[in-house]
Amino acid sequence: MSALRTAYGRGARTPRGTAHPAAAAVRRRAGVRAALMALPLLFFAAFFAYPVAAIVTRGLHEGGNWHLGRIADVAGDAGIRHVLWFTCWQAAASTALTLLVALPGAYVFARLDFPGRRLLRAVVTVPFVLPTVVAGSAFLALLGRDGFTDSLFGVRLDTGVWAILIAHVFFNYAVVVRTVGGLWAQLDPAQEEAARMLGASRLAAWRRVTLPALGPSVAAAALMVFLFTFTSFGVIQVLGGPMYSTLEVEIYRQTAEVFDLPTAAVLTLLQFAAVAVILALHGWAVRRSQSALRLVDPALTAHRPRGAAERTLLGGVLAVVALLILLPLGVLVARSFDTPSGYGLAFYRALGSTDGGTFSVAPWQTVGNSLRFAAIATVIALAVGGLAAAALVRRSSGRLVRGFDALLMLPLGTSAVTVGFGFLIALDKPPLDLRDSWLLVPLAQALVGTPFVVRVMLPVLRAVDERLREAAAVLGASPWRVWREVELPLVSRAVAIAAGFAFAVSLGEFGATVFIARPDDPTLPVAVARLLGRAGALNYGQAMALSTVLMLVCAASLLVLESLRTTGSGEL
């Protein structure tokens, strides 16, 4: 698109006399893009494409022959088709429900100014890192027999589709609040106000001005929620029961239990096909809706709730957060203090000893492991995802670049057991001999974190008004100053949100982590799972206590990350 504009933008400083400065700029830009894409491509080739291809090939290519007939057999099986159908529609329904419930929350957290806002925004992200078995159990306590809904309304939702959908909203609420809210907080309210001044109704102004501006970030959030629920495992098992199965559950069963790798390989291919369709839909939707926006300092857009409507909205959102998120979390915290000899700290004290036998280190030491892995995974995800987003920021993209965008999202839609087993058989020889290296864990976690970084940063990067940069340049600002004073303040919020996501994802990642055999340095979720797998009050209580620690670690990390960002811009 803007070869001319770029030439103009740099006009003041470009030496004249080259024959075709515009054409040269285009070529140079292509070069820059290729350079930006190199590292992400290498990362995905080595730690995603290669391991996944290795495990799929192992399944379909046995004893020197290709067993491609299996594809038709498995894909044609009525049971498998039913699983595929259920996987897709529950993900679509979960995504729709999450958007419905969380979009008002995104507005409230982005635009309204109320006491405890930052703390609450960190707290709603906590479910995101909780092991699903633990959170599922809390949901059973609320939705099951004698639970909250049963004693109040006589409704039991403990097994079945509704329990699955509600739990998916619980887990993914923060994805919408943070992704959409991040952009919403920076949208210039003057645009909507101008529309209203020109006579548009409040609704019309919102629909015509704000909604289109939010489009890309809503699409990004929807995509991530869809992929997360598409690969749902624990929620389906705990709240759906054995009657419900997703592709993720089937792949786990075929790989880890039945050991039917050919079937698992076909199921993985099916998963890829479904994810490819969704990515294509998403790409199509985004290409129709992107526009440059006026971004401003979030501190300028937040205001105290005005009028009855806004106060009602705030009240409604807080009520939803209290019922849907705080209540289940509260159940877990309460259980962590509920010892056989009354309420007390016995389970927390037990976390400091190795007597239980579950670990060769005291369980609380897993906090250090988790923080270390998550920090490294976050740095990797920010580097890989940031470079990728920078490469993707120009929209005049060819198929190749769009394919690159899609590739980055694939790990979210891929089974954790496929990645875990793939690592095992692919990364075991030079030059990539990472067998038993602790590095495998943060690498697997970064694979899941990177898509979040890309999806959070891309809408904001694209929204940065080109003219702002150009104006600054024309006024004589050096490129470094343009970056520091124009772009960085606008993008820094997105970087912080992206880092928060990557960190939270790494902290909570369980699936791939558990399959990567490593020396005895379990992460928090793995430790919780080990404790839950053993009978006895002490083990269960410690699992609850450790889950509470995980919640605190997550909330505290997010608050610290957010305060890092606000030191410069003074946002509340």
Quick one: which of 113, 193, 428, 485 contacts other proteins (CB under 8 A)?
Answer: 428
Q: Which of 226, 182, 36, 113 is nearest to 500 (CA)?
A: 182
Quick one: which of 21, 36, 112, 301 contacts other proteins (CB under 8 A)?
Answer: 36
The answer to whether residue 153 forms part of the interface with other proteins (CB under 8 A) is no
Specify the DSSP class assigned to residue 411. Answer: G
Contact 4, 11 (CB under 8 A): no
Question: Hey, what are 101's tokens?
Answer: 């419930």
Least CB distance to other proteins at residue 566 (A) = 20
The answer to whether residue 18 forms part of the interface with other proteins (CB under 8 A) is no
Only one of the segments 193-201, 224-232, 242-250, 276-284 lies at the binding site for other proteins (rule: CB under 8 A); that segment is: 242-250
Only one of the segments 69-77, 83-91, 178-186, 356-364 lies at the binding site for other proteins (rule: CB under 8 A); that segment is: 356-364
Quick one: which of 155, 194, 277, 537 contacts other proteins (CB under 8 A)?
Answer: 537
Contact flags string 212-241 toward other proteins, x per CB under 8 A: -------------------------xx--x
Least CB distance to other proteins at residue 60 (A) = 15
Only one of the segments 201-209, 407-415, 539-547, 562-570 lies at the binding site for other proteins (rule: CB under 8 A); that segment is: 539-547
Only one of the segments 28-36, 70-78, 115-123, 164-172 lies at the binding site for other proteins (rule: CB under 8 A); that segment is: 28-36
Quick one: which of 436, 552, 556, 563 contacts other proteins (CB under 8 A)?
Answer: 436
53 vs 309, which CB is nearer to other proteins? 53
Only one of the segments 61-69, 161-169, 272-280, 515-523 lies at the binding site for other proteins (rule: CB under 8 A); that segment is: 515-523
125 vs 339, which CB is nearer to other proteins? 339
Contact flags string 447-486 toward other proteins, x per CB under 8 A: -------------------x--xx--x-----xx-xx---
Quick one: which of 118, 285, 359, 371 contacts other proteins (CB under 8 A)?
Answer: 359
> How far, in Å, CA of 102 to CA of 88, rounded?
21
Quick one: which of 90, 125, 137, 231 contacts other proteins (CB under 8 A)?
Answer: 137
Q: Based on C-alpha coordinates, what's the Rg of the chain?
A: 25
The answer to whether residue 48 forms part of the interface with other proteins (CB under 8 A) is no
The answer to whether residue 307 forms part of the interface with other proteins (CB under 8 A) is no
Least CB distance to other proteins at residue 317 (A) = 29
Question: Hey, what are 31's tokens?
Answer: 């070069």
Question: CA 318, 319, 325 angle in degrees (round to 5)?
Answer: 85
Q: Which residues contact 225 (CB under 8 A, 6 or more apart)?
A: 94, 95, 98, 99, 168, 172, 175, 176
Sign, CA torsion 478/480/483/488:
negative
The answer to whether residue 257 forms part of the interface with other proteins (CB under 8 A) is yes
Contact 170, 130 (CB under 8 A): no
Contact flags string 379-398 toward other proteins, x per CB under 8 A: xx-xxx-xx--x--x-----
Residues in the chain: 572
Chain-centroid distance of CA 425 in Å reads 27
Contact 54, 426 (CB under 8 A): yes
Contact 420, 515 (CB under 8 A): yes
533 vs 568, which CB is nearer to other proteins? 533
Contact 9, 473 (CB under 8 A): yes
Total site size for other proteins, rule CB under 8 A:
94
Tokens 């959102």 label which residue? 317
Quick one: which of 164, 325, 376, 558 contacts other proteins (CB under 8 A)?
Answer: 376
193 vs 433, which CB is nearer to other proteins? 433
Helical H runs in 144-210?
Answer: 148-153, 161-184, 189-197, 202-205
The answer to whether residue 363 forms part of the interface with other proteins (CB under 8 A) is no
Residue 433, strand partner residues: 428
492 vs 566, which CB is nearer to other proteins? 492
Alpha-carbon separation of residue 9 from 22, 460, 474, 480 (angstroms): 11, 21, 7, 15
> How far, in Å, CA of 418 to CA of 47, rounded?
12
Least CB distance to other proteins at residue 421 (A) = 7
The answer to whether residue 506 forms part of the interface with other proteins (CB under 8 A) is no
The answer to whether residue 258 forms part of the interface with other proteins (CB under 8 A) is yes
Please report the DSSP string for 86-130 in residue order: HHHHHHHHHHHHHHHHHHHHHHHHHHB--TTHHHHHHHTTGGGGS
Residue 339, strand partner residues: 342
Question: Hey, what are 66's tokens?
Answer: 């290709």
